[in-house]
Structure 1
Amino acid sequence: MLKKLSERIYYLPHNQETDRPILGYIKGEKYCLMVDAGNSRKHVELFMSEISKEGLKYPDFVAITHSHWDHTYGMDAIDAPSIACTYTNEHLKAMSSWEWSDDAMKARLKSGEDIEFCDTMIRREYEDRTKITVKTADIVFEENLHMDLGNVRCSIMRLESSHADDCCVVYVPSEKTVFIGDIISEDFHHGEPVYYRDKLKSLTENLRKMDFHTALFGHMEPLSKEELIGWLGETEIEVVE
């Protein structure tokens, strides 16, 4: 069920069964922005159904926080221009050539291109993997992109993160809200989960400077700024590099 955070901000909560992350909605007077594209057409259809029930219009754009499958494989099902940073788009280009046979998926596990958790969840989300279509973004930016949706402004900003090299946040200053995707998570793709000291420090400093009350993390309930900064502080004991 869609949840209302403010007059301008809504979100569809995460679902752990098939690793579906939060999907966001920012309501401007002229344009509406969806945050992240979900992990499948079914995920997108659920989101669109929920916003329709609330009398909200179809989004005009969709912003992508990073390239991982659960945030991007629904892009092909969204009838609106997609926005991503150049790093995300390069990853999407690479994934667009992937094949989805058992042999191809096993080969990616062996090569390290993919990990067991994602492999399992993709198989769970897609009964028919021939339906997977990885799409590149329509609008690509380097480090920052600022949007005026009509009486509400937002910024899409790439920040350093241990989780991936293309992590972005979507910051809505007037609502004191930031969508952070999975930016506070570890790197799961190079052996044991790990945080990198310099990246963690940079991320913490950047988030501390931002004026917000609520952060929407991809796979949890919303966090206050205090909870988020506290979370990052606690991760210091897990840093190995």
Structure 2
Amino acid sequence: MMKLVKLSDKVFYLPGVEELDRPFLYYIKGSNYSIAIDAGSCKSHVQEFYQELKNEGMKLPKYTIITHWHWDHTFGMPYVHGKTIASELTNNKLKEVSQWKWTLKEMKMREQTGEDMAFCNECICKVYKDVSQICVIPSYIEIDSITQLDLGGVTLSLIPRDSTHSRDALFVYFHEEKMLFVGDADCEDHYEENGTYNKKRLRSLIAFIEGIDFEIYLLGHDLPSNKEETLEYLNKKYQELISN
């Protein structure tokens, strides 16, 4: 079982598990209430996260913010404490996915139509011994513009926008500690771009990141980085795109 990692007095995370495509789950502690970022891939993922919070004497989150619709960040939503928050685009997609049938046959058919990917289904089958137990729900709260939360000594901006990974990214900026939580927003697009970057979206993402005053960069599937390293990496990817 993964152990909770303390990033600051107010920010903690449960590391991901690469072989299960399990993302990092984040916790931000305010003096009035706390929030989580992403709901994880299944009930046991949520339970492990909460057990680690309890072990550290911390309250369960009042809200769980969803960074985008992909299964590894959302299939734990039915099991979270408190209410979930997602963008309108994420919710629209979750409503669609909630109508999907979960059998191996149906999953294979969605691979063939391009609705879903073999890689996702392979990981889902590692996490779920019985895929019929999968339950997908939309978020309780839906936002369609920049929204601020005051947790008590913690000010967060929730910023919905397009990204290189999906159309429904929701960025979370922690003002006081200059942290930017991005989920998978700077990754390649495996649904519309066959696992590559879209040049226009990558340029737009770089400009967006350049315009935010942050020092720590929190990712969905990797260890924290910083602004300089992030921009160096993304600009390198952009140069590779335009040189081909």
Q: CA deviation at 1:191?
A: 5.6
* Counterpart AA for 2:98: S
Equivalent in the alignment of 1:206: 208
CA distance, structure 1, for counterparts of residue 69 and residue 103 of structure 2: 21
Equivalent in the alignment of 2:238: 236
* Counterpart AA for 2:86: A
Equivalent in the alignment of 2:41: 39
CA distance, structure 1, for counterparts of residue 189 and residue 227 of structure 2: 22
Of the structure 1 ranges 192-201 and 31-40, higher mean CA displacement relative to structure 2 is found in: 192-201
Which residue among 169, 173, 178 is the counterpart of 1:171?
173
Does structure 2 conserve the Cα–Cα contact (< 8 Å) formed by 1:23 and 1:35?
yes
Give unmatched runs, 5+ long, in structure 1. Answer: none
Q: CA deviation at 1:100?
A: 1.0
Distance 1:238 1:97, change over 3 A: farther
Aligned-pair identity (%): 39
Equivalent in the alignment of 2:222: 220
CA distance, structure 2, for counterparts of residue 77 and residue 239 of structure 1: 41
The answer to whether the aligner puts 1:152 opposite 2:154 as a matched pair is: yes
Let me know the Cα RMSD of the aligned residues: 1.3
* Counterpart AA for 2:78: D
* Counterpart AA for 1:168: L
Of the structure 1 ranges 37-46 and 196-205, higher mean CA displacement relative to structure 2 is found in: 196-205
* Counterpart AA for 1:127: K
Structure showing greater relative contact order (alpha-carbon pairs closer than 8 Å, 6 or more residues apart) = 1
Deviations 1:110-144 (A, max 9, x none): 00000111010000110111221101011001021
Q: Per the alignment, in what secondary structure is the counterpart of residue 82 of structure 1?
A: strand
Does structure 2 conserve the Cα–Cα contact (< 8 Å) formed by 1:194 and 1:239?
no
Of the structure 1 ranges 105-114 and 153-162, higher mean CA displacement relative to structure 2 is found in: 153-162
Alignment of 1:1-241 (within 5 A): 1-190=3-192, 192-239=194-241
Give unmatched runs, 5+ long, in structure 2. Answer: none
Q: If the length of structure 1 is used for normalisation, what is the TM-score?
A: 0.97
CA distance, structure 2, for counterparts of residue 238 and residue 103 of structure 1: 39
CA distance, structure 2, for counterparts of residue 89 and residue 191 of structure 1: 22
CA distance, structure 1, for counterparts of residue 201 and residue 193 of structure 2: 18
CA distance, structure 2, for counterparts of residue 160 and residue 232 of structure 1: 16
Q: CA deviation at 1:190?
A: 3.2
Deviations 1:153-185 (A, max 9, x none): 101102321210001111101011111100000
Deviations 1:206-235 (A, max 9, x none): 111111111111111111111111111111
CA distance, structure 2, for counterparts of residue 58 and residue 229 of structure 1: 34
Deviations 1:59-118 (A, max 9, x none): 000000000000000000112100000000000000001111111001100000001110
Does structure 2 conserve the Cα–Cα contact (< 8 Å) formed by 1:92 and 1:135?
yes
- How many residue pairs align between the two structures? 241
Q: CA deviation at 1:237?
A: 3.8
